[in-house]
Amino acid sequence: MCGIVGYVGRPGKTTGDHGALDVVLEGLRRLEYRGYDSAGVAVLGESGVESRKKAGKLVNLINELEANPLPESLTGIGHTRWATHGGPSDNNAHPHLADGGKLAMIHNGIIENFADLRQELLAAGYSFASETDTEVAAVLLGDIYAHAGGRDLATSMQLACQRLEGAFTLLAVHEDQPGVVVAARRNSPLVVGLGEGENFLGSDVSGFIDFTRRAVELGQDQIVTITPDHHAITDFYGNPAEGTEFHVDWDAAAAEKGGFDSFMEKEIFDQPAAVADTLLGRYDVDGRMTLDELRIDASDLAGISKIIVLACGTSAYAGSVAKYAIEHWCRIPVEVELSHEFRYRDPILDAGTLIVSISQSGETMDTLMAVRYAKEQGAKTLSICNTNGSTIPRESDAVLYTHAGPEIAVASTKAFLAQITATYVLGLYLAQLRGNLFSGQIKDILADLQDIPAKIQDVLDRADVIKELARSMPDATSVLFLGRHVGYPVAMEGALKLKEIAYIHAEGFAAGELKHGPIALIDDGQPVFVVVPSPRGRHSLHSKVVSNIQEVRARGAKTLVIAEAGDEAVRDYAEFVFHVPETPTLLMPLLATVPLQLFACELASVKGFDVDQPRNLAKSVTVE
């Protein structure tokens, strides 16, 4: 959600000629994809802490800095805010100052007990300039620094965190300690970047990827102090702790648009590589699944009796596709649960339950809390994630990383296809362990999966057909989506993309539900996308879905059909047909989703919207 950057350097550092403000602003620019409504920075100059902050986009802050420059500095922090407590305004933007303006703090997350702390601090004679919970934390830290923390910022941060409840990442600087940034994390992302003569902090590695690829992941309830030459980690009580160093295997160029009009469009076209890379190294030349990265013993996985998939939004639709595949291949019951509802309904879990959490960022708070609950109940937990070193994989018993590369656009595309691919890999591995499929069957399915990247590319090569359709519908205010079997979650994902970036009413329905109520929505000219299953196969639902097309068309709908190559039976009932290459039914979502992504991206662009940063949304939802 919020973007956070911190920096300390020393004169004569060997990695380049840049100051704190240069580093912080570049980091904030790279973190814009997370979604935000205000931005601010603070640096330590010769005269102490100086700060600038503005509501709106980063350009507003840059304009303010041009009008009111900050002094040169080698210590700084920066923030892009997504409003929780208090609306988007200059006053509510971060950083917040305390201790007579000597201390500056930025914050990601929510301080749940801020109201009680605020009353306590008001009673002690302090005042507040904003409506935020962050300023409460800053004033608390300043009070502790002045009275109980020994005028040491790291010690004061430890004492402050012992009093805070909720999910938070905090970064603070104090004019008494130039060349020092202190940060804390609980249930909220924070990564350290290691340089030569300089060190960095970021919400994720995008915040410092221009300057270093060496990073350290922090654990839960840890505090880190960075100086130009060192970093030190403790827990909230001052006990020494260790982080885990890792290397970032993508560079800054991977986060650029690469000639496309938007990150979202670029990421749609990245999908052949995302799927191929997620498959890479997961099987040997004989077609045996080799998931060496899993940390759950194979015998324990073979003995599970139930799978529950936990996810939100797009990731939940990936889980819905997984349900069809895993149940078919493994004969294990699979439930798909929205993370934010899961732990509040008293679910039945035991040691035979495998929890599969799906999160692109690995920081989705609803999912993290659900995973923790499941672990407390004795269930095994496995994470499917795209972000190395993030919290959910670290706290799960096992992890299966997707390899989609950085996804910058808020609306997820390539992460969705990579997540589906990873669930297929997991399903085939479980089928192998349990003996549900013969090795030849697994090898045949893997061969079909290996063909998918080229088939996605075939769809992308005909993107102009879909774009032309979108350009013909600039005044669309409602679009419905129908699908059956694995086409149903594809329909829901297609609808979600339109809601997210084109801001129009869109709904995905199971086609069989049509006559149980939703058909009442059909009126003259109502656009309806229909994901048509293959006519091949003994149990094909093709004829039933063709009947659904006829039903809505008879009531005036404009029918837009996604069908398999060679399926000409739909042409008589559709205003528009887009054919995707033939592929086995269970793998069809990897192809049928792509034209719906292209349609949403182009329609939103035609309507003049910023497809990368849709209103009110953030890339990673790090509050519950």
Residues labelled catalytic: 2, 619
Q: 259, exposed or middle or buried, with CB in 10 Å at 0-12, 13-18, 19+?
A: exposed
> Is 524:556 a contact under the CB 8 Å cutoff?
yes
> Is 545:481 a contact under the CB 8 Å cutoff?
no
Phi, psi dihedral angles at 189 (to 5 degrees): -75, 145
- Give CA–CA dist 176/347, Å, rounded: 51
Question: What is the residue type of 294?
Answer: L
Question: What is the residue type of 439?
Answer: S
**Under 8 Å CB-to-CB from 517, ≥6 apart: which residues?**
none
Contacts 24+ apart (CB under 8 A), 24-28: 24/76, 24/77, 24/78, 25/58, 25/62, 25/78, 26/210, 27/3, 27/78, 27/200, 27/202, 27/206, 27/207, 27/208, 27/210, 28/3, 28/58, 28/78, 28/79, 28/80, 28/207
The DSSP secondary-structure symbol of 34 reads G
> Is 199:193 a contact under the CB 8 Å cutoff?
yes
Separation of CA 138 from chain center: 28
- Give CA–CA dist 8/539, Å, rounded: 63
Neighbours of 457 (CB within 10 A): 15
Residue where the block lists tokens 């191929």: 276
CA angle 215, 217, 223 (to 5 degrees): 115
- Give CA–CA dist 425/349, Å, rounded: 24
* Burial track 562-591 (b if 16+ CB lie within 10 A, e otherwise): bbbeebeebeebbebbbbbbebebbbbbbb
Three-state SS sequence of 133-146: HHHHHHHHHHHHHH
**Cα atoms in the 13 Å half-sphere on the side-chain side of 356:** 31
- Give CA–CA dist 175/51, Å, rounded: 12
- Give CA–CA dist 472/78, Å, rounded: 43
Tokens, residue 470: 């979108």
Tokens, residue 357: 């959490």
Tokens, residue 356: 């599969």
Distances (CA, A) of 547 to 569, 571, 574: 11, 13, 12
